Amino acid sequence: MPLSIFGFQALWSPYMIGTLIFLVIVYFLITIRWRSDFKESEPLKKREAIYFVLGIVLLYVIKGSPIDLMSNITFTMHMVQMAFYLLLLPILIIKGIPWWVWKVVVGFPVVNKLIKVFTNPIVSVLGFALTFSVYHIPLVFDYIKIDETLHGLASLVLFLSAFFMYWPLVNEVPGQPKLKGLYKIGYIIATAVVITPACALIIFTKDPVYATYTDGEAWLRAMALCVPDQTLASISTTVQLSGPELFTNLSPIRDQQLGGVLMKIIQEIILGILLYFVFIDWWRDEHKISEEEITAKAYSEFQAKKRNQY
């Protein structure tokens, strides 16, 4: 059955488009027009603007396009949505906002305290793993998926846990917690490992465990969060909406397993790319240090020979 039966609003979230366009306008006003109002500021870098705009586009794609609707129909698409929402979006937002804007934000006492506590490497990695794992406990997941307020809060908490996890890895704010050298490599590897148990349980379970993807009534209640009530009511008069099987050929267990596999694959790709750039930076820093050491040693030897000549 085509997704078009749910209508334009459910598929493309026009209100979200307006909100995100507003955020982009505010971003460029702050970073260009109002930049002089900041005590410490620099001209907006092209790469920062690209990161931020890509982040906004990605946010719309995973939360405002048909992907969001599909995430309520198949667990596979839900996990793809989660992968990009938690593992890529925070990086783009952190790197897209200039350091001097972040410095003002983290300067607020409450924000500064939260950053200090939750960006501790052990706390941030384990906090992300715990948040992700608890959210995907079947009882918790099914309860949150049918309550609009809880669903919104859970999405925010998940994003913040990912944000805190990435902050010490990619932020460029002077004075803020930041990992260096080989610590970054170990941190990325730890991040890749911590959610493996949750993904493994999803992949290797023998039976489907999420009611919102198997039970018709629970599924309809979850769908009501992204499809207007009038639209669902009008569809129900012509089509009997009984569950996800109307829109996918995947069995519930295959859908669940595929979701877990794709989550892990996307995670490994994103973190693998991040690991590559971190390693390259570390290698360059080490190479630069050794060059400086060699130069200093050669200079001292030259000075010693010069003194001996006299």
The answer to whether 106 and 47 have CB atoms below 8 angstroms apart is no
C-alpha dihedral (14, 222, 81, 230), degrees to nearest 10: -20
Distances (CA, A) of 278 to 95, 170, 179, 275: 14, 10, 11, 5
**244 closest CA partner among 228, 256, 262:** 256
The answer to whether 218 and 211 have CB atoms below 8 angstroms apart is yes
The answer to whether 54 and 96 have CB atoms below 8 angstroms apart is yes
Q: What is the pLDDT of residue 18?
A: 96
Question: Residue 230 is encoded by which pair of tokens?
Answer: 């009038």
**Phi-psi map region of 193: left, alpha, beta (phi>0 left; psi -120 to 50 alpha):** alpha
Question: Residue 21 is encoded by which pair of tokens?
Answer: 């366009």
Q: What are residue 147's phi and psi, to 5 degrees?
A: -125, 120
Residue labelled with tokens 């890509």:
54
Query: Could you give the angle at which helices 182-194 and 252-309 cross, rounded to 10 degrees?
Result: 170
The one-digit pLDDT tens for each residue of the chain (310 residues) are 788 888 899 999 999 999 999 999 999 999 999 999 998 899 999 999 999 999 999 999 999 999 999 999 999 999 999 999 999 999 999 999 999 999 999 999 999 999 999 999 999 999 999 999 999 999 999 999 999 999 999 999 999 999 999 999 999 999 898 898 889 999 999 999 999 999 999 999 999 999 999 998 899 899 988 888 788 777 766 677 767 888 888 999 999 999 999 999 999 999 999 999 998 888 887 776 555 555 555 556 656 665 665 5
Counting beta carbons within 10 angstroms of the beta carbon of residue 233, is it exposed (0 to 12), middle (13 to 18) or buried (19 or more)?
A: exposed
Question: Residue 33 is encoded by which pair of tokens?
Answer: 């027009």
Q: What is the pLDDT of residue 182?
A: 85
Burial 202-225 (b: 16+ CB within 10 A, else e): bbeeeebbbbbbbbeebbbbbbee
Q: What is the pLDDT of residue 136?
A: 96
The answer to whether 28 and 86 have CB atoms below 8 angstroms apart is no
Residue labelled with tokens 């200093």:
296
Q: What is the pLDDT of residue 233?
A: 76
Question: 3-state DSSP helix/strand/coil percent for the chain, to nearest 5?
Answer: 80, 0, 20
Q: What is the pLDDT of residue 246?
A: 82
